Structure 1
Amino acid sequence: MNLPFGPPIDLSNLSNFVQVDARPRRSVFVGRVSTKDNQNPSSSIPRQVALAAQRLEEGEEFAAYFWDVESGMLPTEARGLAPQEMYEALRVPTRRDGGLQDLLAHAEPMGITHVLAERADRVARAMLTSLTTEHQLQQAGAEVVYANEPQGGTESGRLRTRRYGQVEAEVYRTVMLEMSMGGQYQHALGGWNHGYPPYPYIAVVDENAPPPPRGRFGEARPKKKLAPHPDPRRYDASRELCRLRREEHLKSGDIISILSADPERYPIDGQWTHNLVEGLIANPKLTGYQVYNRKASRTGRPGFSQWNPISKWVWSPGPVHEAVVSLAEWKQAQEVTAGLRAGAEGGPLLRIQAAARQQGLTVTKVDNTSSHTRYRIGTRHVVLPTPIPDAVAQQIIEDLERAA
């Protein structure tokens, strides 16, 4: 902003009349396309470059191009992880010197002074992510410029426009998530399957489902329901492994030994594993119901998902495919599994629960990972390994007795 408060005489010949950045201007492009399927990166990225280039100075060119093809809902640490082969296959005419992570890593070493984008949501749809990115670039000496922002005027006006745009991007992100999840819920309520079919099933196209609409990139995937696997032995194997857990309280290692000893009766591609056995025992789809939202995949950690509490699962109103076990049998198996993980009857968790009851407290499971579980004991939260070692349980019990 030009201030109308100049000196009474011409002082422009003094060396410190203006503050000059000793670094040469070095501008780079940053962009993003949500998906390679529902958008066309080969046209979207060059369009973004053309718009951002309007903020270049006369005769200036971009020193580098940083762009990604992925959701703007991802945090910075989860961005730009797709293999280079995927980007090469897209045949985007704009060269790619890296993604957002690369930009943040190389902004200072490259001497970048300006980062130009079409608009704020091309950096990220989550406001916290875009603000964090702007701050990191500012710390590296780079100014972020969005082509859709007005030039001139006051700094407060420019900032207001930018923040409104970032809020709008995050609201749009939330609306899209709500609409997407709503559609997935209805998909499950209709009895249609998500993901790979469990071991005793195959996924078959539902001929009675409404025909999928045709979009700009062709027809959507047809809706599929689960049907028994052509090999009936898979049903028998699934029933048996569930029974071994439910009635005989066997751990996965013992179940694997029994199934592996009779491959003709219990066939498997490859070999029986702990994850397969435990996954089947825990899978509610074996009850004949369609169930969605068992896992949260957007955790901010690439390749990592976590279990949602059962209260957040979405169940079809009734059975929609042939059941392997009843709901009551499935629930009983989950209770046995919980007991085994706690150390079985008289195990560490039960001892902790008994000690807590003596103090008038309850022990409630809050959440868990594959290796640890967080419990609430009264108002106190503790994280314990799974299974709970006896020494750790004894320490918790002693702490409860001292607190009393």
Structure 2
Amino acid sequence: PDQDHLLAVVEHLYLLQDLDESGGVVAAGLEVEEFAAYFWDVESGMLPPELRGLGPQAMYDALDVPVPRDGGLQDLIDRAELMNITHVLAERSDRVARAMLTSLTVEHGLKKLSVEAVYANEPTGGTESGRLRVRLYGQAEGEIYRAVMLEQSTGGQIQHAVQGHNHGYPPYPYKAVIDENAPDPGRNRFGRQQPKKKLVPHDDERRFPAARALCRLRREEHLKGGEIVRILSAGPKKYPIETEWTRNRVEGLIANPKLAGHQVYNRKAARTGREGTSRWNPISEWAWSPKPVHAAVVSLEEWKLAQEVTAALRGGDHSPLLRVHAAACRRGLTVTEISTSGAHAVYQRGARTVVVPTPIPDTVAQHLIEDMEGTR
């Protein structure tokens, strides 16, 4: 709230009689009370106090808010006792935090310092139980509003991907360019919003075949990340890279469905409770563009097979079925399971249908591989 609003709150709370020339409050039978400082920030109210108020001063200056600023929420908590603050005034409880636990924690911390949190939208007088009921209702409403915002934000990000626009840093064989056909994003309180971008092939034409080669090494040769890194590093002219090939970069590219021409959102959960960590979401929770929206390095079927090989390698599985898949890829064929009875499975291999025991014995797998390699 602005300064006039804060003064009105103090008038209501302290039976204001007069203001002295310095802006202090002269209350009946009380000493002059003054506003010691103004603390506010503009980072998300869903963040904990220690992660708020960290924006550069230039950002706050650009907002041109007519209220002075002596720091953010964490600064208030750190300096409340040193500044001999007795009361903290805010417009309402969700201005402290959208998360109910965070606002309660802040209030509890201030209370231990003998600092009372006062909210302008709460009535004065009455019983303590009534005051507490109003406060908790307000904090619950803030938490619900937080959930609604997350739902709406996630929905917007899903539509962003479905429409073919890129999230994050572009993968190795691509670059991100502004989508001239996208609607104008307009402005918000921080200025003009970032334009929507789409993926196009990188200016270095060697990157597409390089990415295709490393995917093939996993899909057909069943090579592990370290082995692929050695092959790529041995041919810097054929497989260019700004810094160096690493196992994480190779594994990340192989796992990235954007190489199949689709935009995909929600592959990872960034908010895990531990700073700097993320986890993979189940593929059922990924949001895909319904059709390819940029040039593909590999087909979707090739990408899926690469993920199967990766899972098998991580599980120490060099199963006969994977060897059959690899042999089929080398011949430009596909092996697709049509049905299974538990003891036997029916596969479509190219134009032929084969029935094999499950699991496939090594001898049967080798016979299928030799049969495909003899096919012209």
Scaled by the length of structure 2, what TM-score is found?
A: 0.70
Query: For residue 375 of structure 1, what is the aligned residue in structure 2?
Result: none
Decide which moves more: 111-120 or 277-286: 111-120
Counterpart of 1:6? none
Q: Describe how 1:143-154 pairs up with structure 2 within 5 A.
A: 143-154=116-127
Q: Does 1:233 align with 2:206?
A: yes
CA, structure 1 residues 199+170, in 2 after alignment: closer, same or farther (shift >3 Å)? same
CA contact (8 A) 2:63 2:189 kept: no
- The number of residues matched between the two structures is 303
Q: In structure 1, what is the equivalent of residue 98 of structure 2?
A: 125
Alignment of 1:235-384 (within 5 A): 235-343=208-316, 345=318
Instruction: Note the C-alpha offset of 1:217.
Output: 5.9
Does structure 1 residue 135 correspond to structure 2 residue 105?
no
Cα distance, 1:73 vs structure 2: 1.0
Preserved contact between residue 36 and residue 83 of structure 2 (Cα < 8 Å): no
Q: Please, what is the CA RMSD of the aligned residues?
A: 3.0
1:8 alignment partner in structure 2: none
1:27 aligns with none
Superposed displacement of residue 336, structure 1: 2.5
Deviation at 1:221, TM superposition (A): 3.1
The alpha-carbon distance between structure 1 residues 97 and 223, as it changes in their structure 2 partners (threshold 3 A), is closer
Q: Measure, in 2, the Cα distance between the counterparts of 1:238 and 1:48.
A: 60
Match for residue 73 of structure 2 among 100, 105, 126: 100
Answer with 1 or 2: which has the greater Rg: 2
SS of structure 1 residue aligned to 2:118: strand
Q: SS of 1:135's equivalent?
A: helix
Distance 2:238 2:40 in 1: 53
Q: Tell me which residue corresponds to 1:30.
A: none
Contact between 1:75 and 1:300, CA under 8 Å: does it hold in 2?
Answer: no
Residue identity matched to 1:224: K
Q: Shift of residue 96 of structure 1?
A: 4.7
Task: Report the residue type matching 2:47 in the other structure.
Answer: L
Show the counterpart of 1:210: 183
Give the TM-score of the pair, scaled to structure 1.
0.66
Q: Which has the higher contact order (CA 8 A, sep 6+)?
A: 1
1:123 to partner: Cα distance: 0.5
How far did 1:285 drift?
0.6
Structure 1 residues 112, 329: closer, same or farther in 2, change over 3 A? same
The answer for the alignment partner of 2:354 in structure 1 is none
Seen in structure 2, the aligned counterparts of structure 1 residues 100 and 222 have a Cα distance that, compared at 3 Å, is closer
Aligned counterparts of 1:215 and 1:91: Cα–Cα separation in 2: 14
**Distance in 2 between the 1:101 and 1:270 partners?**
39
- 1:141-171 CA-to-partner distances (Å, cap 9, x unmatched) read 2211112222222222222221222122222
Show the counterpart of 2:166: 193
| Gapped regions of structure 1 (runs ≥ 5) | 1-43, 347-404
Asked if the contact 1:48–1:117 (Cα under 8 Å) also holds between the matched residues in 2, the reply is no
Give the structure 2 partner of residue 170 of structure 1: 143
Unaligned runs of 5+ in 2: 15-24, 27-31, 320-376
How has the CA–CA distance of structure 1 residues 79 and 207 changed in structure 2, closer, same or farther, with 3 Å as cutoff?
Answer: closer
Alpha-carbon offset, residue 111 of structure 1: 4.6
